[in-house]
Chains A and B, each alone.
Chain A
């Protein structure tokens, strides 16, 4: 019987674990005031935008939820495509707070991303207009972490 093994191994068996996991998931949508369907399509659209504007490796966008205090974030570390000159490819760090800025209104979501220094030639964040179809209500904040990077490599 698995519960005996679990106890023997110090693993936490079924019910409490599944309650905790299910609660974490349901509280993401509860707190964001989004339906599970809305959250899914938002994720898909974010991925699409990233794929459109950043040279990321196909199928490697692994979005995760992260809770900090009582706020949930959608985060991803996305590897960029290998570079033609053989340099180490950069990473795209995405972080989206799922806490609506206005209670009961999800129209303002904060999306932050940063690209590490090797990626600066391949990607211009200013080209991104909106991560959501509803342009009027989206807010994008950009954070680039390339202090003093004098990358003069020619591309192409």
Chain B
């Protein structure tokens, strides 16, 4: 891999040869838990904080991030076109309508996951790291090739799970695989779609429960919010009512701000424990 040679024609002005961007892969094991939603919303939230962000749809063949970000009509080329040299990186990157520092690198829709190799993702990420603060990779579900591609270049991972037995189990499997690959990739948990009322009634796993089981640091707790679907339907990430507050909080925590977690259950000490857990770790 030639690290010194970036992809030509980058859309954002190069910041020299030092690669300072963070490659963050959003993954989950189980499908449909909110990876694409989180990637799109974090992209917008980080851009709103003034960061240069590119989101990459690594779900080759099942392109979705484009439509959730409202950019589906602007796609000319895709990730595989870049990899196979049919276009420059610049040509494939789609600028967000509202945020000038936010770009999408779309997946190919008519190809499959074997069109991409982990080493190619690493090379692509190395190039993007020189120009962006955040490279967010939306992983496909599962633990197969598509997932392997998505985590190949990761400096950090966000594991998305729902407070539901099978997605927690799958999250554990994914954490195990990532840990086996490297102990040096920080993994943070995003617990999505919690229903505080059900937690209070003891019918749904709480953030405490999930953290105890998975034993990894948590970076976000997102409530069930039907306006997430509306935001997706209209292609306007960042506009969900309650959930967007938490997406923004995750973005700020990623930036190192010690944003407190909201308390969603009546467990005493819950809030303090979360804060401690998060802050105690680098």
State the main secondary structure of chain B at its contact with A: helix
Q: How many CB-defined contacts (below 8 Å) exist between A and B?
A: 55
B-facing residues in A13-29 (Cβ within 8 Å): 13-17, 19-20, 22-24, 26-27
B 205-246 to A, binary, CB cutoff 8 A, 1 in contact else 0 = 110010011111000000000000000000000000000000
- Among B169, B180, B209, the residue within 8 A (CB) of A27 is B169
* B213 pairs with A24, CB closer than 8 A: yes
* B204 pairs with A20, CB closer than 8 A: no
B257 at the binding interface (Cβ < 8 Å): no
- Among B176, B199, B216, the residue within 8 A (CB) of A31 is B176
Q: Please indicate which of the listed interface residues A7, A17, A20, A67 has the most CB atoms of chain B within 10 Å of its own CB.
A: A20
- Among A17, A23, A67, A70, the residue within 8 A (CB) of B202 is A17
Q: Bin chain B's interface residue count.
A: 20 to 34
B79 at the binding interface (Cβ < 8 Å): no
Q: Which residues of B contact A30 (CB under 8 A)?
A: 169, 172-173, 176
* A16 pairs with B202, CB closer than 8 A: yes
B 118-142 to A, binary, CB cutoff 8 A, 1 in contact else 0 = 0000000000000000000000000
Q: Which residues of A contact B179 (CB under 8 A)?
A: 70
* B215 pairs with A16, CB closer than 8 A: no
We find that the number of chain A residues with CB closer than 8 angstroms to chain B is: 22
Measured in the bound complex, the distance between the Cα atoms of B179 and A67 in whole Å is 17
Q: Which residues of A contact B202 (CB under 8 A)?
A: 3, 6-7, 12-17
Q: Which residues of A contact B164 (CB under 8 A)?
A: 19
B203 at the binding interface (Cβ < 8 Å): yes
B-facing residues in A30-68 (Cβ within 8 Å): 30-31, 67
* Chain B, Cβ-Cβ closest to A22: B165
B201 at the binding interface (Cβ < 8 Å): yes
* Chain A, Cβ-Cβ closest to B266: A10
B168 at the binding interface (Cβ < 8 Å): yes
B80 at the binding interface (Cβ < 8 Å): no
* B168 pairs with A103, CB closer than 8 A: no
Measured in the bound complex, the distance between the Cα atoms of B209 and A15 in whole Å is 12
Known: A22-B165, A23-B165, A30-B176. 7 other contacts (CB 8 A): A3-B201, A13-B201, A15-B204, A16-B205, A17-B202, A19-B165, A30-B173
- Chain B residues close to A by CB (< 8 Å): 164-165, 168-169, 172-173, 175-176, 179-180, 199, 201-206, 209, 212-216
Between-chain CB contacts (< 8 Å), 26 pairs: A3-B201, A7-B202, A12-B202, A13-B202, A15-B202, A15-B204, A16-B199, A16-B205, A17-B202, A19-B205, A19-B209, A20-B212, A20-B213, A23-B168, A23-B169, A23-B213, A24-B213, A26-B169, A27-B169, A27-B172, A30-B169, A30-B173, A30-B176, A70-B175, A70-B214, A70-B216
